[in-house]
Structure 1
Amino acid sequence: MRFQNKIAIVTGGGSGMGKEVATRFVAEGGSVVINGRNGLKAEAAAREIDPTGTRVAVYTGDVSLPATGEALVKTALDRFGRLDMLFNNAGIFAPKPFLEVTEQEYDHFLDNILKGTFFTAQAAAKAMKAAGRGGAIVQTGSMWALQAIGATPSSAYSAAKAGVHALVKNLAIELAADKIRVNAIAPAVIETPVYDTFLTPEQVKEVLPTFNTFHPLGRNGQVADVAEALLFLASDQASFITGVVLPVDGGVMAGRQ
């Protein structure tokens, strides 16, 4: 199994892509610390992932606070004795026209996406460097950081995710000597609970299918599609890959039909 005896942190691990990554990581032999702001949701996810409770730990906290990243690393070391991988997956999404975005909303995107990713990666990299075994950091970027989509105006979100993409290349160079690889994925429309945060259940059922044809492959992405890419980049199968932002987008970045 690819992750036998490996230890990972998964931010945003209580649902959606993060939960799927944590589930598959454990299924392939690893143990995880999952994080989320909703403690009840994270605890429920942990019980689903590993009913024995031996291979999943939970730390509830806001990743926009650097102390949360430090606490996640401490939890991994205290509970499992090491840290091999970080899946920086936590984030938010809510389209809004540029001319209507407030300073508070702008700060909210930057804090939750870019600041959270930066300082959680910093805490993890410090632990990996101190252990001397190397490691892998995989960030969740976004197709919206590569191109704009008129139907979903997302200037603040896109700017924050573009920062995540830039961070990947900088960290890949800075941490290469310590054998810490840093990569990211850039997903297109993935059917996750994030849409429930700004759409009603009825709107989700109506709106999401309209994006199927936006992707040249003819369908929206699923959490399994994203998880496979994230796990590949973290695994030894990608041992010669660092500094890459991999589109997981059904062909969107290739062009239009």
Structure 2
Amino acid sequence: MTKTADTLFRLDGQTALVTGGGSGIGKSTALLLAEAGTHVIVADRDAASGEETAACILRQGGSARAVPVDVTDEAAIEGMFDDVIAQEGSIDHLINSAGLAIRRPATEHLISDWERVVSVNMTGVFLCARTAARHMIAAKRNGSIINVASIMGLSGGGLYPNISYQTTKGAVVNMTRALAVEWAPHGIRVNAVAPTYVRTPFIAPLLAQPELVAKIEAMTPLGRLADPDDVAAAILFLASRASAMITGHTLPVDGGFLAQ
């Protein structure tokens, strides 16, 4: 097919699974992928939120269904993907957007909280990616996996303590590289986005502090926090034919935050 501006970003006839699709970046991504022609599986631990995202896609004329899942549950993840293959026949894109943050000084960070963050942000990403790749490889079907990392995975932060989040997002960055190299012979591309502070419920406690928001804006060359749609657009690019020669890359969506 000749690549044109009209076709580069179309994903008609393809299936995408979005974890954390019930809110924030995951929800915006699910909506945009559906608009690009993708059948979207909205996966979220909060079943009601996932159902609402799927219903919104259907109201807009798209194709979607919701599935409840805990990304820390290996058996549940495998069951979810088996169900997707049984019903949709294939999986073309996985977007790992589910995430957790427990913001606490390192000296006060409970090991139980550390393990919770690791299980969601790092192990959950690996479990979903591994399971998706197994199905893609078995079907001899090129696919893409896009992980939601963070600017905190590429910097030491400094505005407030967030050690477990920073550590796990740094792991996601290097996991993305490693899996991209391992799975490239199978035609599977693995990339990540590294968002800055995004106006979602995920950072509601930060948004409630005007002085902190002002500080973040002052540290950002473009002078604002990101909106979920900013990140969703980058994810669509990484899922599309427009990025066919890109793998192992982490794309900051940060308004220049990391450029300084």
TM-score, normalised to structure 1, is 0.93
Q: Which residue, 21, 35, 38 being the options, matches 2:29?
A: 21
Aligned to 1:99: 107
Q: Is the CA contact (8 Å cut-off) linking 1:14 and 1:36 kept in structure 2?
A: yes
Aligned in 2, Cα 1:16/1:209: closer, same or farther, shift over 3 Å? Answer: farther
Distance in 2 between residues matched to 1:237 and 1:54, nearest whole Å: 22
Q: Which residue, 133, 142, 147 being the options, matches 1:134?
A: 142
Q: Does 1:233 align with 2:238?
A: yes
Aligned to 2:257: 252
Q: Which residue, 76, 81, 102 being the options, matches 1:73?
A: 81
By how many angstroms is 1:54 displaced?
A: 7.4
Give runs of aligned pairs for residues 77-92 of structure 1, distance below 5 A.
77-92=85-100
Aligned in 2, Cα 1:9/1:213: closer, same or farther, shift over 3 Å? Answer: same
Q: Is the CA contact (8 Å cut-off) linking 1:33 and 1:75 kept in structure 2?
A: no
Q: Which residue, 186, 199, 219 being the options, matches 1:178?
A: 186
Give runs of aligned pairs for residues 146-185 of structure 1, distance below 5 A.
146-185=154-193
Deviation larger for 71-80 or 224-233: 71-80
By how many angstroms is 1:200 displaced?
A: 8.7
Q: Does 1:40 align with 2:48?
A: yes
SS in 2 for 1:33: strand
Aligned to 2:220: 215
Identity of aligned residues (%): 34
Deviation larger for 175-184 or 146-155: 146-155
SS in 1 for 2:59: coil
By how many angstroms is 1:152 displaced?
A: 2.2
Give runs of aligned pairs for residues 192-203 of structure 1, distance below 5 A.
192-196=200-204, 199=205, 203=208
SS in 2 for 1:50: helix
Distance in 1 between residues matched to 2:184 and 2:206, nearest whole Å: 44
Q: Does 1:4 align with 2:9?
A: no
Aligned in 2, Cα 1:127/1:51: closer, same or farther, shift over 3 Å? Answer: same
Aligned in 2, Cα 1:25/1:54: closer, same or farther, shift over 3 Å? Answer: closer
Q: Is the CA contact (8 Å cut-off) linking 2:94 and 2:146 kept in structure 1?
A: yes
Deviation larger for 90-99 or 45-54: 45-54
Q: Is the CA contact (8 Å cut-off) linking 1:35 and 1:42 kept in structure 2?
A: yes
Letter aligned with residue 254 of structure 1: A
Letter aligned with residue 21 of structure 1: T
Q: Which runs of 5+ in 2 are unaligned?
A: 1-6
Q: Is the CA contact (8 Å cut-off) linking 1:39 and 1:60 kept in structure 2?
A: yes
By how many angstroms is 1:163 displaced?
A: 1.0
Q: Does 1:189 align with 2:197?
A: yes
Q: Is the CA contact (8 Å cut-off) linking 1:42 and 1:60 kept in structure 2?
A: yes
Q: Which runs of 5+ in 1 are unaligned?
A: none
Letter aligned with residue 69 of structure 1: I
Distance in 1 between residues matched to 2:206 and 2:93, nearest whole Å: 35
Aligned to 2:3: none
Letter aligned with residue 155 of structure 2: Q
TM-score, normalised to structure 2, is 0.92
Q: How many residues align?
A: 252
